[in-house]
Amino acid sequence: MTTSPETTPFPFDPATVARNLYAEVERIGKAYDAGVKIASGKTTAKVAQTPKEAIWALNKTILYRYYPQAPVEKRKRVPLLLVFALINKPYIFDLRPGGSFIEFMVQQGYDVYLVDWGAPGPEDSHLTFDDYALEYLPRAIRRMQAYCGQHDFSMLGWCIGATLAAVYAAMRPDDGLRNLILLTAPIDFSNKGAMGPFPKWLKDDYFNIDAILQQTGNYPGEMIDVGSKLLKPVENLVGNYLRLLDNLDDPKIVESWQAMNTWVSDGVPFAGAAYRQLVVDLYRENRLMNGTWMMRGRPVNLGDIKASLLNIIARQDHIVPPCQSETILDRVSSADKQQIIMPGGHIGIMAGSGARRGLWPQIDAWLGDRSV
Amino acid sequence: MSQKNGFDLNDPVGNLRKARDATLDAWAKAMIDLVNTETFARWVGATLDSYLIASAPLQTLIDTSMKTSLARLNMPSRDELTTLARRITNIEMRLDDLDVKVDQLGHALRAQTPVLVEMLAEQMEQNKQEDIELNGMESRLALLDHKTDQMLRLIERLQAPPEPPEPPQKRRKAPRQVPPPEPPTPEEAKEDHAIEGF
């Protein structure tokens, strides 16, 4: 039996209201089980599932090679090396089956390698950007070149991984780097007004980096996590969980949420000396863009980058806003350079559900022609 | 009318969600503005400073007592392990360099293999020729040696005097005996007597 507002004294239809309430109760019933499992930690997200092997290791750094999946005739000659940030773990490139950039690229025929920096221990607190970009990265690349028998290679760096990749490209332009992809790269720290809260928080007046590192050695992963979450406190600390609560009856969304939450909570410490460089040399003094960042006695000159360059910017990036990435294009000497601005945030642009139809095919299209 | 200001009066839960989201949005924007202020930055800095000031004495105390305890238990301290780990990493780097050098040598050797095989074959052919020549020379030398021996024997026979008649057999000499010791001189006897007590 149905009624209409016209036939009832109420401004609504009680039957419809009852139906909607019943649907909500039913949804809560379905969601209850999933909610209890997540809350009790009984379900864990399966992350980093693409088959791989470790082909080289040094200290905590491991170089992985992903098994090829494409038919031989479809495979690309030039290998692709992925470099992630020194914050969090690099399996964001391979978050979950169906939502993995690595899986996608392997299926397109790329020979994919990944540098995992590992979690620095107290013995690694002296490691600097110099060590990562000019010691560990070149060694990993040397191993990759020997393994695949190719001198030319492509490199994709994401976030601080892109800064490391840019430094490598500038300091070793003749070591085989053919294609460079920078994804949300923090390079230019000059426009402090448009860079969000980080430049304010990290000011010399408020943030005593030396006192912190003296006590902690490395910069703790938990502090990085809190710092990132404080950029958007309500969204990160409340909104995220409400979104899960609203979708607990949808296993697909729950799985996706759990995978992302696993990655976000899986932080690693930032090597002390490198973190000091990030705060002082980059955030405060903008040395990379000014050409005054010294590494092993030599200034890093972005003008020395000669490789083909694809610079990718996330329009809604609140961690590395566009102004930090877009100016590099004017500095490099690359004859072949392109910039694309994608809708999305710092992580969502690459690991969100829309990436498979959005950014990934664009990277493939640009890199495919340059990898034969 | 069940629709009012975007709210569906027939869906109370949906309405609650919409109201919640609207509130959260407003709250989120306000918080983003708040964290972007100098005041918040100063507050974060002050909070961190107070944490460091409060935790430093405790950390020093823990470090000192831990070091003492570990030393008493004859176990390495954190600093010692850190130093050891750094040394291991240095060794790893050297091994990595060696690994690359071995690889390079292997590559160089593989690249040179055809040239080496050719050189080896040439050398073997040359050795074969030399072997044949040497064998010929050896047989000629042996012949020459044989002839020289024959000539020497003839010369010896020609130069040898006629053999004398055989002499009568001599009596065999008795084997030499060790002579008896001479008696010591008076001085020697005196010395012997002097060292007799030792």
State the average pLDDT for chain A.
93
| Pairing verdict, β A61-66 and A112-116 | antiparallel
Angle, in degrees to the nearest 10, between helices A160-171 and A137-148? 80
| Nearest chain B alpha carbon to A58 | B92
Ramachandran region, residue A183 (left: φ > 0; alpha: ψ -120 to 50; beta: rest):
beta
State the average pLDDT for chain B.
83
Contacts 24+ apart (CB under 8 A), A257-261: A258/A38, A258/A43, A258/A44, A258/A45, A259/A45, A259/A46, A259/A47, A259/A95, A259/A96, A259/A99, A260/A95, A260/A347, A260/A351, A261/A45
Single-letter amino acid, residue A272: G
pLDDT of residue B198: 46
Selection from A156, A177, A59, A210 nearest residue A362 by Cα: A156
- Rounded mean pLDDT, A226-241: 93
Look up residue A169 and give its two tokens: 């490209």
Q: What is the pLDDT of residues A76-93, one digit of tens each?
A: 999 999 999 999 999 999
Residue A128 pLDDT > 70, yes or no?
A: yes
A230 contacts in chain B (CB < 8 Å): 35, 44
Of A20, A121, A207, the CB nearest to B85: A121
Selection from B99, B24, B104 nearest residue A233 by Cα: B24
pLDDT of residue A1: 43
The total domain count for chain A is 1
Selection from A57, A59, A118, A129 nearest residue A91 by Cα: A118
Q: What is the pLDDT of residues A238-264, one digit of tens each?
A: 999 999 999 988 888 999 999 999 999
Contacts A–B by Cβ distance under 8 A: 108
B32–A232 CB contact, under 8 Å? yes
- Cα(A368)–Cα(A365) distance, integer angstroms: 5
Single-letter amino acid, residue A332: V
Q: Are A167 and A296 in contact (CB under 8 A)?
A: no
- Rounded mean pLDDT, A315-333: 95
Of A12, A206, A234, the CB nearest to B28: A234
Q: Which of A48-52, A313-317, B172-176 has the lowest mean pLDDT?
A: B172-176
Residues A159, A188, A323, A364: which is the catalytic one? A159
Q: What is the pLDDT of residues B102-120, one digit of tens each?
A: 988 888 888 888 888 888 8
Angle, in degrees to the nearest 10, between helices A137-148 and B78-159? 50
- What angle is formed at CA B195 by the lines to CA B190 and CA B197, rounded to 5 degrees? 120
- Cα(A96)–Cα(A103) distance, integer angstroms: 9
Domain that holds residue A277: 52-369
Q: What is the pLDDT of residues B53-101, one digit of tens each?
A: 999 899 899 999 999 999 999 999 999 999 999 999 999 999 999 998 9
Q: How far is A365 from chain B (nearest CA, A)?
A: 34
Q: What is the pLDDT of residues A337-361, one digit of tens each?
A: 999 999 999 999 999 989 999 999 9
Sign of the CA dihedral with A95 first, then A100, A103, and A105 last: negative
* Alpha-carbon A263 to chain mean position: 10
- What angle is formed at CA B46 by the lines to CA B42 and CA B47, rounded to 5 degrees? 115
A142–B100 CB contact, under 8 Å? yes
pLDDT of residue B131: 81
pLDDT of residue B172: 54
B:47-76 residues touching chain A, CB 8 A cutoff: 48-49, 52, 55-56, 59
**Known active-site residue A159:** yes
Q: What is the pLDDT of residues B20-65, one digit of tens each?
A: 999 999 999 999 999 999 999 999 999 999 999 999 899 899 999 9
pLDDT band of residue B197 (cuts 50, 70, 90) is very low
Of A20, A59, A212, the CB nearest to B10: A20
Q: How far is B4 from chain A (nearest CA, A)?
A: 10
Q: What is the 3-state secondary structure (H, E, C) of chain B?
A: CCEECCEECCCHHHHHHHHHHHHHHHHHHHHHHHHCCHHHHHHHHHHHHHHHHHHHHHHHHHHHHHHHHHHHCCCCCHHHHHHHHHHHHHHHHHHHHHHHHHHHHHHHHHHHHHHHHHHHHHHHHHHHHHHHHHHHHHHHHHHHHHHHHHHHHHHHHHHCCCCCCCCCCCCCCCCCCCCCCCCCCHHHHHHHHHHCCC
> Exposed/middle/buried for A225, CB within 10 Å: 0-12, 13-18, 19+?
middle
Single-letter amino acid, residue B21: D
- Cα(B181)–Cα(A64) distance, integer angstroms: 95
pLDDT of residue B6: 72
Q: How far is B1 from chain A (nearest CA, A)?
A: 6
pLDDT of residue B125: 87
Angle, in degrees to the nearest 10, between helices B38-72 and A209-216? 30
A24 is a domain residue: no
**Known active-site residue A126:** no
**Known active-site residue A346:** yes
A146 contacts in chain B (CB < 8 Å): 100, 103
pLDDT band of residue B1 (cuts 50, 70, 90) is very low
CATH number of the domain within which A280 lies: 3.40.50.1820
Q: How far is A11 from chain B (nearest CA, A)?
A: 6
Of B28, B52, B59, the CB nearest to A235: B28
| Nearest chain A alpha carbon to B42 | A206
- Cα(A139)–Cα(B99) distance, integer angstroms: 11
